[in-house]
Amino acid sequence: MNPVSHPQKPVTTGFRRPRLGIIGGGQLAKMTAQAATQLGCEVVVLERQEDFPAHSLDTHALIGDWDDPQQVARLAAEVDVVTLENEFVSPAALGSVPVLWPKAETLALVRDKLRQKIVFAEAGLPVARFADAPTPDAVRRFGFPAVLKKRFYSYDGKGNATVHSADELPAAWVKLDGDRNPLYVEEYCPFIRELAIIITRGQDGAVVRYPVVETINRNHICNIVKAPLQVPGVADIAERAVIAVGGVGSFGLEFFELPDGRILLNEIAPRVHNTGHYTIEACECSQFENHVRAVFGWPLGSPAMRAPAAAMINLLGVGDGPGTPVGLAEALRVPGAHLHIYGKSRSAPGRKMGHVTALGATLAEALATAQRAADCVRFGRAP
């Protein structure tokens, strides 16, 4: 595919603002672009399709495949610094980018969930027992119950299969297409809660730690985030994990809390993260603004919360249909609810179409407000 450029307004003055290139144009790119434009930057997005959430916030867009080194090089030539909104871009495409944050090595490492785990284990961080699983035999040797996982391209719980016994292994192996996809295996962890945290690290090594949050998933998709949570140790582990992968920028880290109180680091995302959307309204400086600051080499802002509690609820598509919500006006009527509509052209079941954040004196209050607004909005007809 040839790149299609839609120059919006050729800059005739010769004046050049700081320019951020983002690979990917979804809601994460959109919210990053919002933070960047507030600071006077321009944003150029590389996306595969012409209609995408960040389209309304970029100075212009390059339409092309982000796994194509030529397209990525073209983006890089136009901007001062390149960053990403997803971790699936092929390492080959990133080789030619002169200024890329996070670094290509960080991305290559994080992209392979087995390598992630090895690096974390070597750094002495608490992770579930794991092993490479090139063959079904390797899984049998590891033991059951276990969770079989894809090393690459898995997100939102896609690419995982719980295997309670050897009997279930063949079906799981087929489901994940283990003969073609590299897999690994992890100890099955019956956690009581899932926790997450955003860490931003600057080019100078400065680190800010956002509050620990509880995430409540539905069908493996982040659904509700409750902030803050007092769970000692999580932020320390998270910071060490970001340092272990040489991270620069905002990172989302997910944890399991076990019945005995132990905390296990589950995975790291080398980018702004759904579990940090609440920081736009709830924190002094959002994960998005801090990501922009980090990739431009600017000082980081404070992650301190501006209210005692915050709750974020994702607005997921209930069916196929247009991307316009039903019930937006009703949701806007809920005092204290902050609505974010991503502007996707199509709704699909489980697709992230927007979110709502509310602050409160207590978690219960914030959650009730957010829920009241979220209940008003619907994307797509139920099948």
Q: Please report, as ranges, the residues that interact with a copy of itself according to CB under 8 A.
A: 6-13, 15-18, 30, 33-34, 37-43, 50-51, 55-61, 63, 284, 293, 297-299, 301-302, 306-307, 322-325, 328-329, 332-333, 335-336, 339-343, 345-346, 354, 359
CB of 125 to a copy of itself, least distance (A): 30
CB of 310 to a copy of itself, least distance (A): 12
CB of 86 to a copy of itself, least distance (A): 20
User: Is the Cα torsion angle 347, 350, 356, 357 positive or negative in sign?
Assistant: negative
* 172, burial (CB in 10 Å: exposed 0-12, middle 13-18, buried 19+): buried
Closest to a copy of itself by CB, 220 vs 306, is: 306
Q: Retrieve residue 106's tokens.
A: 């960080």
Closest to a copy of itself by CB, 11 vs 166, is: 11
Instruction: Evaluate the omega torsion of the peptide bond into residue 102 and state whether it is cis, within 30 degrees of 0.
Output: yes
Distance CA 44, CA 63 (A): 11
Closest to a copy of itself by CB, 60 vs 193, is: 60
Cα atoms found within 13 Å of the Cα of residue 274, Cβ hemisphere only: 26
CB of 205 to a copy of itself, least distance (A): 16
Closest to a copy of itself by CB, 116 vs 347, is: 347
Closest to a copy of itself by CB, 15 vs 232, is: 15
Helices (H), ranges, 207-259 = 234-244
Closest to a copy of itself by CB, 166 vs 329, is: 329
Instruction: Evaluate the omega torsion of the peptide bond into residue 145 and state whether it is cis, within 30 degrees of 0.
Output: yes
* 180, burial (CB in 10 Å: exposed 0-12, middle 13-18, buried 19+): exposed
Helix, coil or strand: residue 78: helix
CB of 126 to a copy of itself, least distance (A): 32
Distance CA 167, CA 90 (A): 35
CB of 117 to a copy of itself, least distance (A): 35
